Each structure stands twice: as C-alpha cells, then as structure tokens.
Amino acid sequence: MASEKELIGTGLKKRTEEALANDFLRKAVAFTTDKLKTAKLQVTDDFGHWEDWRERGRQIRKHVVDHLDYYLTQFTDNVSKAGGHVYFCQTGDEAVKTFMEIAEKRRAKLVAKGKSMVSEEIHLNRHLEERGIEAIETDLGEYILQLAKETPSHLIIPAIHKNKQQIADIFSEEAGETFAPETKVLAKYAKQRLRNYFLEADIGLTGCNFGVAESGAITLVSNEGNGRMVTTLPKCHVVVMGMERLVPTYDDLEVVLNLLARSATGQKLTTYTSMITGPRREGELDGPEELHLIVLDNGRSAQLGDPVFQEVLHCIRCAACLNVCPVYRHVGGHTYGSVYSGPIGAVLTPLLQQDMKEAGQLAYASSLCGACYEACPVKIPLHDMLVQLRARKVRLGLTPLAERAAFKTFRTTFGNVTLYKMATKSAYYMMKPLVSQGVIKKAPGPAAGWTQSRHFPMKPKLSFRDRWEALQQELKQQAGRSEAGAARGQAVPGRDEADCSAKGGGRHE
C-alpha cells in the first residue's frame, strides 16, 4: 500500500484506487463519521427548530460576504485599536513572508501551533523548517500526524484514519519506549511532551474561527486546552485567518457557534471558547505582549460577485459535509490531494488554486446526491457548485480527448434520426455476444467499472420508437377493419328495405 508521501504528485484516479484498496482506511473513516453523524442528529433534534437556525446562519454569512469590505475594515480597525498589528496578504507566499518577518524580528526558534487550516493551506510548516524554525503542532490529532509525517485527512478530526494501535506505534517510535494502545496512556504522553513546548515557544500561532467585527475579537473554539496555552504563554501571538471568517456582532456569533459545535462534533458547545481582543494589557496576568493578525486572500476575493461560487465563502469549516459524503467515506481525505477535502474541498480547492486542469478533477469526486447540502448548517449548495465546476471544465476544453470525442459523437448521433436508428440497432447486435442470463455481467472498456458491482441491462431488440411505430400501425389496421365492418353493417338494412319494396311490403294502408 502506497504511503501518503508516495502519492504526492499522483492523479486523483491513482489516489482513489489506493484508498479503495485500503480496507482499514474505509472502515476507520466510516466508523468515526457515523459517530459524528449520529451525535449531530441527536443534538440538533434536542435543540429544536434546526431549519430556522440554519436559515439564520445562512443569512448572517450571506450578509457578511455581501458586505465583506465594510466588515473587514471594521474588524481590522478594531484589532488595531486594541493594540494588534494587522497585515493583508494577497497570496500564500505573502503570508509566509509576513510571518517570517515577524519570526525574524522576534528571533524565534520555536513556534507552538494551535489548529489552523489556513497555515496548512499556505504550507507554513515546510517553510519554517526550511528556515530552521521548529514548528510543533499542539492539537493532539495534528501532533500525531506531524510525528507520522502526514497531513490532516479531516477538517475537524485530522487523524480520523488512525486507530489507537497505530498512534501507540507512532508515540513509541518517538519516545523510544513501548506504549499500550490505551487512550489514557497515549494522552498522558502527549500532554507531557507538549507541556514544555508551550512554556518554551517564542511564538504561538493559531487560526481564527470567527472575527467579531464590532469589537475586533478573535474567536477560537477547541476541545483541547492547547488553544488557551498557545495564546497566553508565548510572548507573541500570530493569528492567520481567511478574509471571510467574520460575523458582524456578538449576537451573530452566538448563532454560528451554536451551528458550528452541533454540526462539527455533535456538542452543544465546544469545551473551550476563547475571545481574544488585543495583546495583554497593563494589570492583566496572562496573554501575549504582541498580537499580529495576518488576513489572507489567496483566491477568496476572486469568488466575490460570482453568482454561482460566492456562497462557498459562507463555509464555517464544520466538516458536516464530509461526514455524510459517500465518496469521502470511502476514500478519506488524502485522496483529495489538498488540505480541504470532502465536498467543500472539491469546490474550494480548484477555486482557490485557480487550477481547473488538475484540481478541477475533484468536481467528479461526488455522486451529486445532495447530502452535503442537507448537512450544511449554512445551506451551501455544494452539489450544484460541483455541477457548475464540471461545466466550467468542459467550457475550458480540459476534459480528456476521448471524452470530448464521445460526447461529440453522442451529440451528432442524437441530432440525426437516421444515425440514431442505426446506432440503436447496432448496439443491440454488439451487446448480444456479451449477454448471459439476460444481462451483461462483464462489460469491456469504459463500462467494465460498472459491471464490477452491478449487472448491465441488455438493450431490447426493439427500441421504444420501433415499438411505437408498430403500435401505431397496428392501431391503424384495427381502425381500418372497424370502418370496413361498420360499412358492411350499414349496407345490409338498405338492401332489405329494397327487397321489401319490391315485394310490396313495408307499407300499411
């Protein structure tokens, strides 16, 4: 079985084949996503009026994105007033450069990281390593994957594809001693290892779940204490956030936090909800001396004003769409080849990377069942967007040559009655040698994949058009016979009357 590292640079098809061949992966992902789905259904039912909350969340996110320039200005102005330093970065490279300048100014050697998908998006860890700066993931799942030299495969549960035995093996190799595959044992080791990093870190790095525009508060949610540690112990706190992660007010924050916790992990509220407004003030006991906010565009602004794709910026990163997606549940996150996986990743990745040729293949990693829309707490129509991405790929001429030729042939054939009749008749005789017990159990060529899991129905010898024409002909013949019979029936009484007249009958005087 190929490792994640070995699959880097391979195509979607190769990654999918590897994932489907990994029985453990499919079972592990299905097991965890089933638990998350069940927990979400329970907590949303208990909450009541879930659809009303979804609609409120949709309206809040739509309003923010529709007026993003206003709220982004308000938010960053308030961050600055509270003593923070704000940087706007157009690209991932600019964001990395900005962070490096902060690190160099602080002469940083160790960065303790809270969970941040944006830092994964810009590959910050790799750049830090190249500069000789040690970056330690303090989220437990992220820490496990860092030791395993892997990337996250789920937005909320990064190590969803690992079991306790695998984690024990990873920790045992790191520590040089053997650990039992028990939750308490493994958690204790991780806690001991990470504690020193919190105390020694020069910089604490986090993402931002939501920025509150009216106050400049940076909101972080977490189920582990690492979020509090990396934002209070290091002398410098750097926040890396996507430009769209805003809400106007604390009232709006209440709505989206209720939606986020329930949709992500099936909780009423996450264990920790932190709101950070500026660096430590005089008289405060904890907090950083400096707060730096890096606001990242990286392709997001290109979606503003787009009638189809602007709504993708409404996403609150709950991963509910991953948990219900039949494709993700079978292949896991690494198959997508991006930090963002599942339905949201299939839409977001090609848009942010502006790469319809390679990343655009992800638009086909969907059954278009619409389960993602039903699960989304802010009602993003991801299945419709995937269809539009496929259409964009076709318009750009980026589909395979064989596919383009096939659809051109299809269009020509179905646009000509004579060709259509010839094609349907030919199809019957071409399929006939492959039939067994009325179905095709093993088809050749592109149809082979279909018959691996189901039978291909045999085409009837007569098409609907043939049967319809035969039926019309039969009805005409029946109508003709009926008319002839009726005519004969009318002629008989006339002849009888003539016979009676000739014989002097038919009159009474």
For the chain, which residues score pLDDT lower than 70? 1-9, 489-509
Residues 172 and 271 in one domain: yes
Residues 363 and 316 in one domain: yes
Tokens of 65: 């994105």
Residues 166 and 254 in one domain: yes
**Amino acid at position 287, single letter:** G
Residues 215 and 350 in one domain: no
Residues 238 and 371 in one domain: no
Q: Is 444 exposed, middle or buried (0-12, 13-18, 19+ CB in 10 A)?
A: exposed
| Phi-psi domain of 95 (left: phi exceeds 0; alpha: psi -120 through 50; beta: other) | alpha
Residues 415 and 496 in one domain: no
pLDDT, tens digit (0-9, with 9 covering 90-100), for 408-451: 999 999 999 999 889 988 988 888 899 988 898 998 887 888 88
Residues 40 and 59 in one domain: no
Query: Tokens 């496990």 — which residue?
Result: 144
Burial 170-191 (b: 16+ CB within 10 A, else e): bbbeeeeeebeeeeeebeebbe
Residues 329 and 367 in one domain: yes
Residues 38 and 56 in one domain: no
Q: Which of 457, 474, 490 is the last residue of a domain?
A: 457
| Residue 485 burial (CB count, 10 A) | 10
Torsion of CA 52, 55, 60, 63, to 10 degrees: -140
Burial 127-148 (b: 16+ CB within 10 A, else e): bbeeeebbbbbbbbbbbbbbbb
pLDDT, tens digit (0-9, with 9 covering 90-100), for 112-168: 999 999 999 999 999 999 999 999 999 999 999 999 999 999 999 999 999 999 999
Within-domain flag for 140: yes
Number of domains in the chain: 4
Q: Which of 380, 399, 418 is the last residue of a domain?
A: 399
Within-domain flag for 327: yes
CA 79 to chain centre: 32
96: Cβ contacts below 8 Å, ≥ 6 apart: 122, 123, 124, 127
Domain extent at residue 470: 463-502
Residues 133 and 31 in one domain: no
Within-domain flag for 142: yes
| CATH code, domain carrying 268 | 3.40.50.10420
Residues 218 and 345 in one domain: no
pLDDT, tens digit (0-9, with 9 covering 90-100), for 348-385: 999 999 999 999 999 999 999 999 999 999 999 999 99
**Dihedral (CA of 175, 180, 184, 185) sign:** negative
- Cα 263-181-140 angle, rounded to 5 deg: 45
Residues 256 and 123 in one domain: yes
Alpha helices, DSSP H only, in 48-108?
50-66, 68-81, 92-106
